[in-house]
Amino acid sequence: MSELRELYQQVIIDHSKRPRNFGALEGANRNADGHNPLCGDKVHIHVLTEGDRVKDIRFEGSGCAISTASASMMTEVVKGKTVAEVEKLFKNFHALVTAEVGADETVLGKLAVFSGVCEFPMRVKCATLAWHTLHGALEGGSQSVVSTE
Ligand code: ZN
């Protein structure tokens, strides 16, 4: 295992054990539930938008280390971003974990720690669940349900 890969692994483990922005969000105006039946991951995303900006975001749920770490890091990264910026991040993140060409690591920043996921196709849905769910919350209004299947 390379040193970089090991560092990435440590960041993911840290976020899965101590998820950031975990819990309910008072005043949230958008919510969505996400479910990945393949692995059993469940996530609930609470978002407070102001204009077209994500003012605050928190999540709840339970799942594997990858899904929890991904939700945790996503909440850190998207806070304060516009909906358009969030969609751009999602597109690049999806490209990264599916090893599609076109993932822009300058856009992704610290989300690059998930680059190893592309070697494990079963884990792609774990890594993208929170993002699909956030997308559902932003598109679908007050309450939406998202499944990776
Ligand atoms: Zn999972």
**How is the chain split into domains, by residue range?**
3-140
φ and ψ of 25, to 5 deg: -125, 110
The confidence score (pLDDT) of residue 141 equals 58
Q: Which residue has the tokens 């469940």?
A: 42
Lookup: tokens for 122: 């079963």
Name the stretches of the chain with pLDDT < 70.
Answer: 1, 141-144
φ and ψ of 23, to 5 deg: 135, -175
Query: Taking Cα atoms as reference points, which of 49, 53, 9, 19 lies closest to residue 130?
Result: 19
Span from the CA of 72 to the centroid of ligand 1 (angstroms): 14
CATH architecture of 3-140: Alpha-Beta Complex (3.90)
Span from the CA of 123 to the centroid of ligand 1 (angstroms): 6
